[in-house]
Structure 1
Amino acid sequence: MRSGSKNRGGIGLLLAALIGFAGLPALAQAPAGGTSVEWIKKLGGLATEPELDLAELKKRAAERIKARVEPIPNKRPPMAPELNKLPHLVAEILFDEDAAVVRPDSYRTLGRIADTLTHPSMLGYKFLIVGHTASGGRRDFNLTLSQRRADVIRDVLVNTFKVSSKRLVTLGLGEEQLLDRAKPGSPVNQQTQIATIGSSIEANSPPVAPAAAVPAKAGTHKPKR
């Protein structure tokens, strides 16, 4: 009997310990995709400003879908292959399904993007936010959805994180320029691309105050209220 009581007591202690550990907060993990320093390196060094006609690209994408050009996703030629030759980064920003609503856990990533774009070494540049989707469903819906999502990312960066609207433009390509053509339906094709496309009016702004010249830590860009 005493042996059984000891066993039951040991099991009780073990369960209590497990319950206690379950109640502890999970260890914070650094978001994937590299540090802000790495992102700055990826976006810097634009040699020549590209000749991008965003209105024309949007028109061509819509016309290609309407004409049902190349129904097989991984055989479609990219709409704007020159974008991949520009300094750029790809970030995972999650949205509600079939909607242009950023999920709360992706605001940390948007804050890191804001850190990068507002770093003193980046203030002379203008950026293009490119929305993509995986292949599936209607192509015209995906094209519209990708544009709405790119616009929402810009709005969050401008309104929440106070990045200058003069430095951001958007383009939605839907599934017309897959990030992974070998796997058209992969979630990787829903990631967002940010490319450096030219100089910004910020380059002529007054010099940055010394205190602001200290490199920001990853994910430290906080919304201004």
Structure 2
Amino acid sequence: MSIRRFRNTLALAALLAAASDAGAQQLSEHQLVDTLGQVASVAPAVDVAMLTQELAANPGKGIAGLPHWSQLATLPQFFVEINFENNSVAIEPESYRTIGLIADALHHPLLRQYKFLVVGHTNATGDAKHNLDLSARRAEAIAEALSTTFSVEPTRLFSVGVGSEMPVDSANPKAADNRRVQLLNIGLVK
């Protein structure tokens, strides 16, 4: 199990550079709460519906070029490895411990008032359209597991897939490190 922790970053480029340089760490609920709880009191609310519409209306444009993505790059977030069966949304059994730790953190009193965006990433082994669809379905599978298996309120969870557009290892787009899940604190539950 590995985690890549992030504080507030100023730009998408800085976020990706930090992700590629970050060392693997043992995942803990404390780390998750600490990382996701770093919300500025004036943090912008993210309009997930608008982000989803932008993605649907601009296939192939790349999420990094969408107006709402730059807003997401500045929010508290982390990347975590979740293993899926090959070319599937079936979560490997060993990854349920990681999802359980995420759920424990989301149930923590400091985070109960926030909503979260689950972002799915793939490597570049398939075509772009397939990768985008697979990453969206995998992000949804994580959100569903959090809400059904671990009782995280589903109204606090949103999901989106970005395919292979944002590789951690850009020199090797087919690398396994590029398959990951990103969790972002997107603001207060209203």
- The normalised TM-score by structure 2 is 0.76
Number of corresponding residues = 164
Correspondence for 1:50 among 44, 50, 57: 44
Determine the C-alpha separation between the residues in 2 that align with 1:78 and 1:92.
Answer: 25
Deviations 1:70-103 (A, max 9, x none): 9xxxxx9555243232100111101011111101
Deviations 1:26-46 (A, max 9, x none): xxxxx4333211111110121
**Aligned match of 1:162:** 151
Determine the C-alpha separation between the residues in 1 that align with 2:64 and 2:111.
Answer: 32
Summarize the Cα distance change of 1:146–1:106 in structure 2 as closer, same or farther, 3 Å threshold: same
Structure whose residues are more often strand by fraction: 2
Determine the C-alpha separation between the residues in 1 that align with 2:158 and 2:100.
Answer: 18
Q: Which runs of 5+ in 2 are unaligned?
A: 4-26
**Aligned match of 2:30:** 37
**Aligned match of 2:113:** 124
Determine the C-alpha separation between the residues in 1 that align with 2:139 and 2:158.
Answer: 9
Whether contact under 8 Å (2:46, 2:72) holds in the other structure is: no
Q: How far is 1:57 from its partner?
A: 3.6
Q: How far is 1:135 from its partner?
A: 1.5
Correspondence for 2:186 among 197, 204, 208: 197
Summarize the Cα distance change of 1:188–1:50 in structure 2 as closer, same or farther, 3 Å threshold: farther
SS at match of 1:193: strand
Summarize the Cα distance change of 1:187–1:46 in structure 2 as closer, same or farther, 3 Å threshold: same
Cα RMSD, aligned residues only = 2.2
Whether contact under 8 Å (2:36, 2:184) holds in the other structure is: yes
Determine the C-alpha separation between the residues in 2 that align with 1:61 and 1:136.
Answer: 21
**How high is the sequence identity, in percent, across the aligned residues?**
36
Determine the C-alpha separation between the residues in 2 that align with 1:182 and 1:62.
Answer: 28
**Aligned match of 1:101:** 90
SS at match of 1:90: strand
- The normalised TM-score by structure 1 is 0.65
Q: How far is 1:136 from its partner?
A: 2.5
Structure whose residues are more often helix by fraction: 1
Summarize the Cα distance change of 1:183–1:151 in structure 2 as closer, same or farther, 3 Å threshold: same
Determine the C-alpha separation between the residues in 2 that align with 1:84 and 1:183.
Answer: 22
Determine the C-alpha separation between the residues in 2 that align with 1:101 and 1:155.
Answer: 12
Q: Which runs of 5+ in 1 are unaligned?
A: 1-30, 71-75, 202-225
Correspondence for 2:71 among 79, 82, 98: 82
Whether contact under 8 Å (1:61, 1:176) holds in the other structure is: no
Correspondence for 1:113 among 102, 108, 113: 102
Summarize the Cα distance change of 1:174–1:154 in structure 2 as closer, same or farther, 3 Å threshold: same
